[in-house]
Structure 1
Amino acid sequence: MKTIFSPLHAGHSDTLELVAGELVPGFEKPSRAEFIKARVESERLGPILPPEAHDLSAAKRVHAADYIDFLPTVWSAWEAAGHSGPALPFVWPTRGLRGDVRPHATEARLGFYSFDGGAPFVQGTWDAIKSSYDVALTAAALVNNGERAAFALCRPPGHHAGSAFMGGYCYINNAAVAAQWFRDQGAARVSILDVDYHHGNGTQEIFYARGDVQVLNLHCDPLTEYPFFLGHADERGQDAGEGFNHNYPMPAGTTWERWSAALDDACARITDYGPDAVIVSLGVDTFEKDPISEFKLKSSDYPLIGRRIAGLSLPTLFVMEGGYAVEEIGINTVGVLTGFEGG
């Protein structure tokens, strides 16, 4: 399996995020991608290739154009306003406030285009965002051109980014971009299977009223876990998308037995849907030692995930999402991929 990777991700470093009233060092750090890359190499999964450059037209197929145009301007505008630390929002247009008028101040625009304080900018952030997007599209092209599967080692991740908002370490929704790109290349239907511990709220929001992209999320119950305000089982899609959105919220402490039953059900729904391609939003923060998550999957479980996905017998794009600050992120991510290869 070919892996697409860009070293430009490393410019997005030394960030801060707002968590429960504290500014803390960002859990989404460069070592995540480097652990995975090292494991790809040590396991000889396949060649690691650089991404090809793409313009932003594919991003604007799933994101609002003004939102995408804003992202490259953040750091220079932040510095021009006299700020020196990581750029973060501090005010949001919640219920009762105007959300239809874009403010001029960069500090306010950060809040206008976000839903939390977990998507910081430093000097190298835009280059990392753009390279992550390029990684996803380059890997998608491999699958579209006949590869059985490819791995987009994206950093930063993307599944919390919605049509016009960032959050949860995510800026451009790489899986959503790839799904739309497959559609634009002629795929009649695409399925996105999100196995991250946290609900892919951005992916759901983007495709919620569409029937041509099926979205399935296995995640911790939003009643108790981030992102809190989306991901319930009764969210089934609307209008043309009715019945094509499937959520599998599970309680903290979930082990392989319950989690794998949800995976089996999701895979059965994919088979019934009959897509031309599957995109896996590959988060491995379901791991029992992950520092910000509370599922109890073990390293030995991850090859089984890959094997089950391989059983779909569909062209498959793996897009990296979450998994934090532990060396096992490489073991578990590549475990999924080697399990798929052997499935």
Structure 2
Amino acid sequence: MFRIHKIYDVSTASNQQLLSQVQAMLRVQFNELSEKDIAKLPAQLANPLKYRFHSRLLVAEDGHAKVRGFALLLHAPDLQFCFLDYICAGRGETGGGIGGALYERVREEAFQLKALGLFMECLPDDPALSPNAETRKQNIARLRFYERYGARPLANTAYETPVNEKDTDPPYLVFDNLGQHEQVLHREPTQAIVRAILERKYAKLCPPAYIDKVVNSISDEPVQLRQPRYIKKAAKDNIQPKLDKIALIINHDHDIHHIKERGYVEAPVRIQSISKELARTQLFETLNAKKYGLHHIEQVHKPEFVHYLRKACAAIPQGQSVYPYVFPIRNRARPPQELPLRAGYYCIDTFTPLNSNAYLAARGSVDCAMTAADCLLDGRRIAYALVRPPGHHAEHQAFGGFCYFNSAAVAAHHLSLHGKVALFDIDYHHGNGSQDIFYQRRDVYTLSIHGHPRHSYPYFSGFDDEKGEAEGKGYNRNYPLAENINGEQYRLVLNKALQRIANYQPSFLVLALGLDTAKGDPTGSFQLMAEDFYRNGELIGALKLPTLVIQEGGYKTQTLGINARHFFNGLWQGMSA
């Protein structure tokens, strides 16, 4: 088994390990490359201005950080095309589906970038250009593979003219229209693209006169592709990228955690209200949650706290709830021996109960959030973990506010191994748990817009002077707002927060989505309407960051789903514009 994900940030230790393996594969399988060309790969990924391409490295790895193949895709947004620089399966991996999976992933990436098509070089199948029969056999196999996708060499051009007369196997320039049948290659844009490829990639190898000769040889209008030689009908001509929908992961077992006491608003109907409205759109693809180990949770929560929740919940009889009522402020070093009494040792309020299923439901929420996070690593632009119980009030070693494990924090930490993360909380209530967990870190920038703690839960945190400590100093930002804020007033602050996120330049955005900012929500006092949620989503989407949305609060079930639908319509529009 393997999975394919994109390298976003070359500065993380895990990505550096993957990069070193990719470079080792380049040395073995592309022995004509100089060490200088191989060594520049990290700089290519980090510095598009210098290399005049936005480079995207897609890595197939086995789940244990072993690279089994990779593809390097170059994107030229100024000319709206993509160029496949390398695609490579590891030694002994041929026939294992890795090459095909990588190429299909490359096509989806190019499609998402709205490229007019994907260009690549393939060695020739013409005996006059490739005199060695064994080499030519390999060339034919590659051209046959790409022809399955409708990709064929440009015809009637001098691209395959050797730079030096005695050279053999000069490459064809192959074009894949990504299944966009209406896409026609016009002469002048194609000339500009070919010039860009030759000048940006091969300036040291190709003299200006050679480049002019090749470019001027493109005279057909429209540009023609060679007729198919190996595949009568391209079986995979049409591309419908599965990654071009929002991944929706629902915590289907959430209703095992159902507190029926009067006034407990964190009820199962919340999920039904949202999922029913989302089904009216065509934006989502529902995926099943995967199971993740406890160590992911213990990387953001203290293990003793995690073990206490598991043990305490397992000890409570079915149908009963335990509410914290003793809080050992004076002697935290000696917690009570009885598990029910010890609840207050780990809790921040008196209204978040423990019961037999709280731990299991919270584990399910984390599994959904982690599955959604991995969807971003696999190439999704947006993933949504529709979960309950929520999580953003759960601190390093405390639960409260209906929250037991901080799903957003677990997912943010997981993503931080692959690049910088902005964790943006737009629930009505301050995300005290996320702030507590990342307060001394700079690789996860936490921001929260919320009701002022003078009048809003959790009351003890969320002030604007809380800006982080130690390494995290300056990487926490709170925006406490007055009561009765309307949508227009809210967006004035939202724009300030989004500018800070843009300046931080994260690789990922984790959005703790609270819909309790809506007018009439029983736990909040803001006045946002459905149209406000659309406009807020549109502004957030305009960041165009891979975005993981995790459901937090929102308790007015009459409008909850409608507001969610409006938000995601706006988010999608902002991301796609």
Q: Structure 2: how far apart are the matches of 1:39 and 1:122?
A: 30
Conserved in 2, the CA contact under 8 Å of 1:132 and 1:154? yes
Residue of structure 2 in register with 1:120 after alignment: 353
Picking from 277, 281, 296, the partner of 1:43 is 281
Is 1:144 aligned to residue 382 of structure 2?
Answer: no
Q: Among residues 289, 300, 303, which one is paired with 1:62 in the alignment?
A: 300
- Establish whether residue 239 from structure 1 lines up as the match of residue 484 from structure 2: no
- Name stretches of at least 5 consecutive residues in structure 1 with no aligned partner: 17-23
Deviation per CA, 1:36-57: give whole Å up to 9, x if none.
1111112233122220011111
Q: What does residue 43 of structure 2 align with?
A: none
Which whole-Å CA distance do the structure 2 matches of 1:59 and 1:108 have between them? 24
Equivalent residue for 1:157?
390
Report Cα offsets for 1:281-310 as digits up to 9, x if no partner: 000100012112100111111111111111
CA distance in 2, matches of 1:25, 1:255: 26
**Superposed counterparts of 1:300-339, under 5 Å:** 300-339=531-570
Q: In the aligned structure 2, how far is the partner of 1:145 from the partner of 1:306? A: 23
Does structure 1 residue 91 correspond to structure 2 residue 290? Answer: no
Does the 8 A contact of 1:11 with 1:123 survive in 2?
A: no
SS of residue paired to 2:393: coil
Give 1:280's aligned amino acid: L
Specify the SS of the correspondent of 1:47: strand
What is the alpha-carbon distance in structure 1 between the residues aligned to residue 319 and residue 278 of structure 2? 36
Task: Give, in angstroms, the shift of residue 338 of structure 1.
Answer: 1.4
Name 2:249's counterpart in structure 1. 4
Deviations 1:171-204 (A, max 9, x none): 10011101100122x21x1101100000001111
Q: Does 1:73 align with 2:308?
A: no
**Contact 1:196 1:282 (8 Å CA) reproduced:** yes
Distance 2:502 2:324 in 1: 42
Indicate which of 342, 350, 354 corresponds to 1:109. 342
Q: Does structure 2 conserve the Cα–Cα contact (< 8 Å) formed by 1:15 and 1:121? A: no
Structure 2 residues without counterparts, runs of 5 or longer = 1-245
Count of matched residue positions in the alignment of Structure 1 and Structure 2? 329
Distance apart, 1:328 and its partner CA: 1.1
SS in 2 for 1:278: strand
Q: Deviations over 1:227-255 (max 9, x none)?
A: 00000011111111111111000011011
Partner SS, residue 478 of structure 2: strand
Query: Within 1, Cα distance between the matches of 2:414 and 2:553?
Result: 22
Sort the Cα spacing of 1:242 and 1:42 in 2 relative to 1 into closer, same or farther, 3 A: same
1:11-69 residue CA offsets vs partner (Å, 9 max, x unmatched)? 111344xxxxxxx4311000011111111112233122220011111111110011111
Instruction: State the TM-score, normalized to the length of structure 2.
Output: 0.56
Q: Distance between the aligned counterparts of 1:298 and 1:241, measured in 2?
A: 35
1:269 aligns with 2:494: no
Quick one: distance in 2 between partners of 1:176 and 1:147?
19
Q: CA deviation at 1:324?
A: 0.4
Provide the C-alpha distance between the structure 2 equivalents of 1:57 and 1:112, rounded to a whole number of angstroms: 22
The AA in structure 2 aligned to 1:304 is R
Q: What is the alpha-carbon distance in structure 2 between the residues aligned to residue 84 and residue 144 of structure 1?
A: 39
Query: 132-141 vs 122-131, which deviates more?
Result: 122-131
2:455 aligned partner: 224
In the TM superposition, structure 1's runs of 4+ consecutive aligned residues that sit over 6 Å from their partners are: none
2:409 corresponds to: 176
User: Offset of 1:340 from its aligned partner?
Assistant: 1.0
- The whole-number CA distance in structure 1 between the counterparts of 2:565 and 2:352 is 26
Read off the aligned partner of 1:171 and give its amino acid letter: Y
CA distance, structure 1, for counterparts of residue 288 and residue 331 of structure 2: 43
> Of the two structures, which has the highest relative contact order with CA contacts closer than 8 Å and spacing of 6 or more?
1
- Tell me if structure 2 keeps the 8 A contact 1:78–1:106: no
Identify which of 479, 483, 489 aligns with 1:248. Answer: 479
In the alignment, what sits opposite 1:197? 428
- The answer to whether the 8 A contact 2:271-2:386 is kept is yes
RMSD across aligned C-alpha pairs, in angstroms? 1.4
Calculate percent identity across the aligned residue pairs.
35
Equivalent pair of 1:15/1:122 in contact (CA under 8 Å): no
CA contact under 8 A between 1:12 and 1:121: conserved in structure 2? no
**Using the alignment, how far apart are the partners of 1:174 and 1:88 within structure 2?**
22
